[in-house]
Every structure is written in structure tokens, then in C-alpha cells.
Amino acid sequence: MSGTKSELAAFATDRDEVIVRRQSRWKRVAQDRSLYVMLLPVIAFYLLFKYAPMGGEIIAFKNYRFVDGILGSDWVGLKHFRLLFQSPDFWRVLRNTLLLNVYSLVLGFPAPILLALMLNEVRKELFKRVIQNLLYIPHFISWAVLGGILIAVLSPSTGVVNFVLERVFGLEPIYFMASSAWWPAAYTVSSIWREAGWGTILYLAAMAAVDPQLYEAAKIDGAGKLRQIWHITLPGIRSTIAILLILRMGSMMDVGLEQTLSLQNSSVLDVADVISTYVYRIGLQNMNYSYSTALGLFQSLIGLILVVGVNRVIRLIGERGLW
């Protein structure tokens, strides 16, 4: 929009010309009016359900009480933010949240790309379909169930992992889920287990769009499989990776409540207590709506900064970003 406006300003030497252009634009709108009418409900939806509720964010700066309502509650300025940043345990919770996200970004983000690359090279169609479906299954199982499976698999007395460690490597059994050192690893692996297969879908679609002639040309030039992947497939899905990375950055401050609650236990709370469990405890269980809104606003702000920052970096290295 702003681009067209400045273009207009640059080129419009004559006032009349501008008016003519405006008229023609209205004419075009009039021509497509049925399309615009169909757009209206969507705009209304976004205004009503996405933008209007944002007005409620002001309770972060108020002392919200039910009876007084959102507008009627007293203003308290930055009190809730001050409480938040002064709370000794907010930083612990923030650190845990960021650490878990960094682990799953570093290990979890490349996982579906690797999987998709491997799947893309599978030539037996039946085999490929079977593997794909097996990889998708965990995505449809709830965390409560997956958590139970993970705890059983990692159990020091009856779990298969410790059985292998003991029999094959002669190691002492490790209580993975109750160790503050191992728990983040188990958490990250569980995220990959559940989501990596599902994440391949977008990459596989992007790979399907790569021009087959490129591969043929590369083959003629004597490129092997790895060379083809490096020089053709990966560059072909670069923009998809970039977009997904930017979107992923937006959720760097989130850790799934359900996943954390089903995996955490009392002996790992120093690494497993995250923002979502903290909000659940302090905000919802104690009706501290203003406080948890302040926290949510802070979370969104950091998320926004990360998205904008990464988008800028991605554009600097010559990819198309989100905008």
C-alpha cells in the first residue's frame, strides 16, 4: 500500500492525473465488488476476534477486577511488570523456557529437513508411504499418552533404553526422567519424536516443486547423490526453510503446557518449570489476570522482536523474508 502511495506521489505531477487514477481504481473495485463482498466477513472476523480483543491488553497496566470491568479497573502503571521482573523466580522460569527452546531449535528444527531429504531419496513408493505414515502417527497421540510411553521406555528398572545400556555397554542404569541433567534431553527428544515426521510434509512439498531437469543436468555433469542434495535440493527449499525459521522464532518464548506437565516431576523442577506452568500456577489458579497479562505481553514483545530480527537477517543474506 505505502509503496503505491509513494509511487503515486513521485509520478503525479498533475493533480487531475491523480484524480483520474483514483477514479480508475474505484472502477476496478466496483468491477470486482462481488469478490470484495466475499472478503468482508474475513475482515470482520479478524477485526472482531483478533484485533478487538487486543484492546484487553490494557489490563496489564491496570488492577483488573471482575466487577469493575476492563475499562473501569484502576490504572496501576507498570506495577505488574515491576512485580514480574523483581520476582526472583521469573528469571529462573525465563531461563528454562529459553534453554528448552534453544535445544529444540538447534536439534529439532533440522530434524524434519534431514528426514525429508532422506524420504525424498527413497525410490520405492510403497516403502516411502509406510515410513511416512509411521512418522506421522506420534503427532496424533496426546502428550499424556506419549509421556507415559517415554517414562516407561526410559525407566531404570524396566525400560528398554537402560536394558540396552546395561547389557551392551555395561553401564549403570540411569534415571533419565528424574535427573536435572538428562531431563532437557529427554524433553527435546520427545518433541522431535512427536513433531519431526509431521514437519516433513511442507519440505517434501517444496522438494516436489524442484525442476527434475536440474537433477538430470547434474547427473550428466557427474554429480553424486550427496552433491545433488547439496547443490539442488537444499537451495530449492531454502525459502521454505527461511519462512519456517522465522515463524519458529515467534514461539521461542512458548513451551507447551501439556507436554511439560506430562513429562515433569518433582525432582526436575529446577529445569522443568517454564513460563506456561508459571502462568498457570500464578495467573489462572490465583486469578491474577493483570499479572499474567503483563507476562503474556512481555512474551509477545520478545517474540515480535525475534521475528523482526530474524526476518531482517534472512533478508540480508538474500532470501525473501515474511515481508
Is 142 near other proteins (CB under 8 A)? no
Q: With CB under 8 A as the contact rule, which of the stretches 70-78, 199-207, 211-219, 229-237 interacts with other proteins?
A: 70-78
DSSP tag of 32: T
**How far apart are the C-alpha atoms of 133 and 292, rounded to whole Å?**
40
- Residues 189 to 248 in contact with other proteins, rule: CB under 8 A: none
Candidate list 157, 170, 318, 323; residue touching other proteins; CB under 8 A: 157
Least Å from the CB of residue 217 to other proteins: 55
Which residues, other chains included, contact 138 with Cβ-Cβ below 8 Å and sequence gap of 6+?
146, 193, 194, 195, 197
Candidate list 18, 151, 189, 214; residue touching other proteins; CB under 8 A: 151
- Closer of 65 and 315 to other proteins (Cβ): 65
Least Å from the CB of residue 168 to other proteins: 22
DSSP string, 58-81: GGGGEE--TTTHHHHSEE-TTHHH
* Site size toward other proteins, by CB under 8 A: 40
Candidate list 48, 137, 185, 301; residue touching other proteins; CB under 8 A: 48
Is 270 near other proteins (CB under 8 A)? yes
Angle formed by the axes of helices 238-249 and 289-316, nearest 10°: 160
Least Å from the CB of residue 175 to other proteins: 7
Is 117 near other proteins (CB under 8 A)? no
Contact assessment for residue 96 and residue 273, using Cβ atoms and an 8 Å cutoff:
yes
Is 258 near other proteins (CB under 8 A)? no
- Closer of 32 and 270 to other proteins (Cβ): 270
**How far apart are the C-alpha atoms of 184 and 271, rounded to whole Å?**
7
Candidate list 1, 10, 71, 126; residue touching other proteins; CB under 8 A: 71
DSSP tag of 36: H
Candidate list 246, 268, 307, 314; residue touching other proteins; CB under 8 A: 268
Place of cell 483520474: 20
Which residues, other chains included, contact 127 with Cβ-Cβ below 8 Å and sequence gap of 6+?
none
Backbone angles phi, psi at 63, to 5 degrees: -100, 90
Contact assessment for residue 197 and residue 132, using Cβ atoms and an 8 Å cutoff:
yes
Q: With CB under 8 A as the contact rule, which of the stretches 27-35, 164-172, 208-216, 267-275 interacts with other proteins?
A: 267-275
- Residues 275 to 304 in contact with other proteins, rule: CB under 8 A: 281-282, 284-288
Is 160 near other proteins (CB under 8 A)? no
Least Å from the CB of residue 266 to other proteins: 4
Contact assessment for residue 256 and residue 274, using Cβ atoms and an 8 Å cutoff:
no
Is 42 near other proteins (CB under 8 A)? no
Give the number of C-alpha atoms closer than 13 A to the C-alpha of residue 263, restricted to the C-beta side: 30
State which H helix or E strand residue 227 sits in: helix 225-228
What residues are paired with 75 via a beta bridge?
Answer: 62
Question: Applying CB under 8 A, which residues contact other proteins?
Answer: 48-49, 52-56, 65-72, 87-89, 148, 151, 155-157, 175, 177-178, 265-270, 273, 281-282, 284-288
